[in-house]
Each structure stands twice: as C-alpha cells, then as structure tokens.
Amino acid sequence: MNEASTRNKFYSYIEQTWTITEEQLNELKDKPLASFIVSKETDVVGIPETKFYLKLQMARESIDKNGFFLYLCFSRPKNSSKIRAKYSFFVKSENYSTQFDNIFYPEKTTGWGDEICPVEKFFKRNFIFHGKCIIEIKGILIFEEINEMPKIVMESAVLSRALWEKDEKDFKIEVENEGNIMVHKNVISARSTYFERMLNSGMKEAITNSVKIIDFNLKTVKTAIEFFYDRNIFESLNFDDAFDLLRFSDKYQIIDLQDKLELHLIYQLSPSTVCKLSNGSIYSNSVKLREICTNFLMICSKHSIPIDDLKNLDRDFAAELFLKTFSPFD
C-alpha cells in the first residue's frame, strides 16, 4: 500500500487522562439515576469544531442495582461526518481496561461506552486510589467522509513578502560544497533562538555575517529560510524532506517550524504511513511524533488493524513497542 492509497481516510489519534475525586463520585452516587459528570473537552486534531470528552453516568444495572457507565462523547456540528472510533478505557489502579469499536453518527449518537462497575462494588475495589479515580482513554478516530484533508496553511503577510523579494539580505549561510543562501539577520534571529544567540554573542559568525553548515543539504536550508519569510513550504513537502527539515529545526531551535512540521506529519498518520513516520521521528529527534506513533501502533495492535511495512520498523523502536504492547497498563 502506498502513501496515497488511504488519502480518502483521515486518522486522528486521541488521548485524555481524567481525574475524578472521591468526593465527586460520592456526590454522583447520591444523585438521581441518569445523573452524570463529564471531563473537559479536547480538540480532535485536524477536524475543525470537533471535540471529544468522557462521561461517567450512574444508571440502572438491574432492578435493584445501579452502575457507573463510562462513555466517549463528541461535541461537533450537526452536518459533520460519521466517526469510526477504536478506543480503550483504562483505570490502572484497578488493572481495568476495556475496548470498543463504534460508529458515531452526528445526529443519532450521543456517546458509546458500557458499564464500568456496579456502584457499590466501585467503592470497595481499587478504582479509587489516594482519593482519586484516574480514567484514561486512548484511541483512533477514522473519518471517511470529510470534504478536504487537513493541511498546514501559511499566510504570508505583506512585510514578509516584501522582505523575501528584497536583495539587501545581510547574512550568508554557506552550505558545504553546494552553495550559499542569503537571509536578513533580523529575520533569522527572530525565527531561531540558536541564531539569535550566535549573532548577539560577538562570535566570528556575527563579525563576518556568515555561517557554515556542513550537516544539512542546500535544499533543507533553503526550505527553512523560505519558512522564515512565511512562504508556503508544506504544499509539496514529501516525508524525507520533512524529516530533514524537522531535524534542522530541532538543531537550530526553530520552535514554530518544528511545531508545524510535527502537525503536518501527524496529519499524514495512517496504518500505511505509521512505520515510516516512526522511523522519521527517530531520525529527526521528534519526541512528540515518536510518542504519537507509539500510541497509534499500540491501538492498532489492540484492535487488530493491519499495518504496512512493519518489517522496516527501527529495531530498537520495535523492541520497545513490543514491551509496551504486552504491558496492558503502560
């Protein structure tokens, strides 16, 4: 399966940790049936105006017993697409976990879940630890009917366009054996804390108004400089170029470029790309991307979702993933 084969589907990883106090649980227990409490709403990455949250509800288990029921719920526009959700709930203090595979329709489905425990047993077991019940959810949302795939959009201001077009750039970056590129010192200092410190330090580079870069190619450096001037670099950025650029932004402390690149790559996350993205996260030293890929793969394992190119997964990463996958409460 190639990168483009799942472009009609968008995958979004979700995760939330919800801490409920014992006092809140006692208050819920004493309220009428169908009473509930909810967690905070969390944005679904890549899908505008769509948030998810958890709901803990007291409902009747049988004629003489009440239970706590736990649900995944969404807040979103009525005309939004259906969501296929593969997710798991965890309460580590009780060694409790359960998993679901549900479809959420925008006008029909308010939430999916199930009973977590009868109310009386809940307070006798280990769901509450040190006065708190900590509930976690990890899952994958699959969107098949969205009108447009999420993407990073760069808006070039009048000033940045004017600076880009000017020839009076006053700082030279020499890329070994490939060529040079010019940039404004004020621009590169504003976008990179590494270069800001260099140019304010009195070092040789600050005096000569030039710096040599030997560990990145000219294409990567040029693309980074284009980003400094708010050029749209994401439209045709392939994975390998993105990983090089992410490594460049990590080394030279270009925080906003790093954030946008990670989000750009997360938008591409799917069962057909996750192994390539995992390897790229190691190469580029992206902790955030690596963590999301790890969790995505673990959910795929739990829900028997086929993954492409597993044989190409970095060996150390694969070994660590194996241990995490078979440690149910990691």
User: Could you tell me the two tokens for 105?
Assistant: 């329709």
Residue 17: which of 105, 92, 124 has the closest Cα? 92
Looking at residue 3, its pLDDT comes to: 40
Per-residue confidence (pLDDT) for residue 6, from 0 to 100: 43
The answer for 163, left when phi > 0, alpha when psi is -120 to 50, beta otherwise, is alpha
Give dist(CA 228, CA 260) in Å, integer: 13
Cα–Cα–Cα angle for 243, 4, 7, rounded to 5 degrees: 100
Are the C-beta atoms of residues 199 and 189 closer than 8 Å to each other?
yes
Query: 3-state DSSP call for residue 161?
Result: helix
pLDDT by 10s per residue, the chain, length 330: 344 444 468 999 999 999 999 999 999 998 988 899 999 999 999 999 999 999 999 987 666 678 999 999 999 988 888 999 999 999 999 999 999 999 999 877 779 999 999 998 999 999 999 999 999 999 999 998 887 889 998 877 777 777 888 878 899 999 988 899 999 999 999 999 999 999 988 889 999 999 999 999 999 999 999 999 999 999 889 999 999 999 999 999 999 999 999 999 999 999 999 999 999 999 999 999 999 999 999 999 989 999 999 999 999 999 999 988 877 555
Q: Tell the residue number behind the tokens 């999916």, with chain if given.
A: 112
pLDDT at residue 15, as a whole number? 96
Strands 171-175 and 210-213: parallel
- pLDDT score recorded for residue 201: 85
Kindly give the interhelix angle for 274-283 and 239-251, rounded to the nearest 10 degrees.
30
Q: What is the pTM of this model?
A: 0.88
The whole-number pLDDT of residue 62 equals 62
